[in-house]
């Protein structure tokens, strides 16, 4: 922990600004500015409030939207909650509606144009602002750190605690800086950057740390790209991923529905400009990488660290660092139906999924559409779907004609939601199907029982859809 004589990291500053109480045992109480809710982790929390006869402590801090269970097919969506075919999904979405009405919490309901994936909707609405502490009962809450926030996922009992007290018991983490210098090559995207980071440090590399992303690559990166990277900080073992506030951040927030205005805006900007690590701040761990050396990435196994660049092959056991890794790889070969040493370009694909809280923003859809324009999805691909992250992203994509580019190529254009990222709705892989997915996790069964997930960028997923197998998007 940095002492008072040295400069502070961004994490130290955010922590200090929200510290309510520090105990001798190392545990602390921190204040939470924004609490995001969805239908999966909130029902028991609301029930707990009701049983204890308590009300939310600060209503305006809470905002909800259904995302995990919502169907993405237009016909099923058109009938609202009652049209959801799957009973469990219908009950979860209906329960969120009822709880938000009962406790008077703002909710973007299933057919509100503002509805979407909670981690897409919140920055889009200006609900998440630089300098905030942000929590949600969802591990990918790290996404919001892109705005210079302290944001992380919490469990259901903590959801209840935050609703009731607007505070959270925490232990301070260590500081880690991931510095990516230089410039990215053509066809290399923020998704490739974060997969390359995870390949380098492993899925436990960031454990116990708050991870800050710095260097020229992040200074040059758009807000949406930064969200993609921070979203996957959790896959590198860190609960928190952050990028310092700069003009890109401030420009992004300006004019959003929940952003401050007038005199409050000026005051906010003055504070936000302090939200960066001081030049003499000390990090517990520093990792440096060269952006020019990063190529488009493809995950081959069942963990986000099992990733190689498109020009490489599935690694062989003699490349494993220890027996634990050998065993994990052996199991992954079997589950994924791949052979050691097999070229990544030889992996044939059954389905393509462009969406999720990692890659469903307007820039992601544009990047995929650029590759697809005027081309067709390969006949061997059974299904290719595009799922915008929110109703407003979908609307904007349609105004730009992106939906037509996708549908002309043979993609399905769906309604917003988490969709095929996690098989908690109707969009699932069948056993042994290979999917090029722009989501964040390739665990066994994540996209459907026995399904085989390969994590890629939207541009790489688009190129794979056309070829029917993985291909280097830089050759398009």
Residue at 252 is within a domain: no
Asked if residue 188 and residue 140 are part of one domain, the reply reads no
User: Residue 6's pLDDT is what?
Assistant: 82
Residue at 159 is within a domain: yes
Residue at 3 is within a domain: no
Residue at 319 is within a domain: yes
Asked if residue 37 and residue 155 are part of one domain, the reply reads yes
How many domains are contained in the chain? 3
Q: What percent of the chain has pLDDT over 90?
A: 96
Write a three-state SS string for 416-457: CCCHHHCCCCCCCCCCCCEEEECCCCCCCCCCCCCCEEEECC
Looking at 136, 170, 204, the residue that finishes a domain is 170
Q: What confidence tens digit (pLDDT) does each residue in 403-443 have?
A: 999 999 999 999 999 989 998 888 999 999 999 999 999 99
Q: What confidence tens digit (pLDDT) does each residue in 298-309 have?
A: 999 999 999 999
Asked if residue 150 and residue 185 are part of one domain, the reply reads no
Asked if residue 117 and residue 58 are part of one domain, the reply reads yes
Asked if residue 335 and residue 225 are part of one domain, the reply reads no
CA 424 to chain centre: 16
Q: What confidence tens digit (pLDDT) does each residue in 88-98 have?
A: 999 999 999 99
Q: What confidence tens digit (pLDDT) does each residue in 46-88 have?
A: 999 999 999 999 999 999 999 999 999 999 999 999 999 999 9
Asked if residue 441 and residue 318 are part of one domain, the reply reads yes
Residue at 5 is within a domain: no
Q: What confidence tens digit (pLDDT) does each residue in 383-394 have?
A: 999 999 999 999
Are 231 and 358 contacting, i.e. CB atoms less than 8 angstroms apart? yes
Looking at 103, 137, 170, the residue that finishes a domain is 170
Q: What percent of the chain has pLDDT over 70?
A: 99
Looking at 126, 142, 170, the residue that finishes a domain is 170
Assess whether pLDDT exceeds 70 at residue 20: yes
Are 419 and 394 contacting, i.e. CB atoms less than 8 angstroms apart? no
Residue at 271 is within a domain: yes
Which CATH number characterizes residue 179's domain?
3.40.1060.10
Distance separating alpha carbons of residues 155 and 16, to the nearest angstrom: 23
288: which strand partners? 179
Q: Average pLDDT over the chain, rounded to whole?
A: 96
Asked if residue 449 and residue 364 are part of one domain, the reply reads yes
Helix (H, G, I), strand (E, B) or coil at 177: strand
Helix (H, G, I), strand (E, B) or coil at 307: strand
Which CATH number characterizes residue 108's domain?
3.30.499.10
Q: For residue 80, give the nearest of 70, 95, 88 by alpha carbon.
A: 70
Assess whether pLDDT exceeds 70 at residue 5: no
User: Residue 4's pLDDT is what?
Assistant: 57
Asked if residue 164 and residue 205 are part of one domain, the reply reads no
Q: Which is it for the CA torsion 261, 262, 267, 273, positive or negative?
A: positive
Q: For residue 64, give the nearest of 86, 88, 34 by alpha carbon.
A: 34
Q: What confidence tens digit (pLDDT) does each residue in 200-239 have?
A: 999 999 999 999 999 999 999 999 999 999 999 999 999 9
Asked if residue 165 and residue 193 are part of one domain, the reply reads no
Asked if residue 240 and residue 123 are part of one domain, the reply reads no
User: Residue 375's pLDDT is what?
Assistant: 98
Strand order, beta sheet including 150-153: 106-107, 62-64, 34-37, 133-136, 150-153
Asked if residue 356 and residue 469 are part of one domain, the reply reads yes
Asked if residue 121 and residue 44 are part of one domain, the reply reads yes
Residue at 188 is within a domain: yes
Residue at 436 is within a domain: yes
Distance separating alpha carbons of residues 116 and 129, to the nearest angstrom: 18
Q: For residue 36, give the nearest of 113, 112, 124 by alpha carbon.
A: 124
Structural domain of 419:
297-475
Residues 6+ apart with CB under 8 A from 4: none
């Amino acid at each position: 922990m940095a002492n008072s004589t040295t400069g502070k990291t961004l994490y130290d500053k955010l922590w200090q600004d929200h510290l309510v109480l520090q105990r001798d045992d190392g545990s602390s109480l921190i204040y939470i500015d924004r609490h995001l809710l969805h239908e999966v982790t909130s029902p028991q929390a609301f029930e707990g409030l009701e049983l204890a006869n308590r009300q939310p402590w600060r209503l305006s801090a809470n905002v909800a939207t259904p995302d995990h269970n919502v169907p993405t097919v237009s016909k099923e969506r058109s009938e609202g909650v009652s049209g959801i075919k799957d009973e469990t999904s219908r009950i979860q979405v209906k329960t969120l509606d009822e709880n938000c009405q009962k406790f008077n919490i703002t909710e973007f309901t299933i057919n509100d144009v503002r509805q979407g994936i909670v981690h897409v909707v919140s920055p889009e609405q200006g609900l998440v602002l630089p300098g905030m502490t942000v929590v949600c009962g969802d591990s990918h809450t790290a996404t919001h750190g892109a705005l210079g926030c302290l944001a992380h996922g919490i469990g259901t009992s903590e959801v209840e605690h935050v609703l009731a007290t607007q505070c959270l018991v925490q232990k301070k983490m260590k500081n880690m800086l991931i510095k990516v210098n230089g410039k990215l090559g053509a066809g290399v995207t923020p998704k490739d950057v974060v997969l390359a980071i995870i390949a380098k440090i492993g899925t436990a590399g960031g454990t116990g740390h708050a991870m800050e992303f710095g260097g020229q690559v992040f200074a040059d990166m758009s807000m949406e790209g930064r969200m993609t990277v921070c979203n996957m900080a959790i896959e590198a073992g860190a609960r928190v991923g952050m990028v310092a506030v700069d003009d890109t951040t401030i420009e992004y927030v300006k004019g959003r529905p929940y952003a401050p205005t007038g005199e409050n805006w000026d005051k906010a900007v003055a504070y936000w400009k302090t939200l960066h690590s001081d030049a003499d701040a000390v990090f517990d761990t520093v990792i440096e990488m060269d952006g020019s050396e990063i190529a488009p990435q493809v995950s081959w196994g069942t963990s986000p660290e099992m990733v190689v660049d498109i020009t490489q092959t599935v690694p062989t056991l003699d490349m494993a660092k220890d027996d634990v890794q050998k065993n994990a790889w052996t199991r992954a070969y079997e589950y994924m139906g791949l052979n050691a040493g097999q070229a990544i370009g030889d992996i044939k694909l059954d389905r393509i999924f462009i969406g999720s809280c990692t890659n469903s923003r307007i820039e992601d859809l544009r990047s995929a559409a650029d590759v697809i324009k005027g081309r067709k999805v390969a006949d061997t691909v059974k299904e290719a779907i595009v799922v915008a992250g929110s109703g407003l992203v979908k609307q904007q994509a349609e105004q730009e004609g992106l939906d037509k580019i996708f549908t002309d190529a043979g993609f399905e254009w769906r309604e917003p939601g988490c969709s095929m990222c996690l098989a908690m709705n109707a969009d699932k892989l069948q056993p042994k199907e290979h999917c090029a997915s722009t989501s964040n996790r390739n665990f066994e069964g994540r996209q459907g029982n026995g399904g085989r997930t390969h994590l890629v960028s939207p541009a790489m997923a688009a190129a794979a859809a056309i070829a029917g197998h993985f291909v280097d998007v830089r050759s398009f």
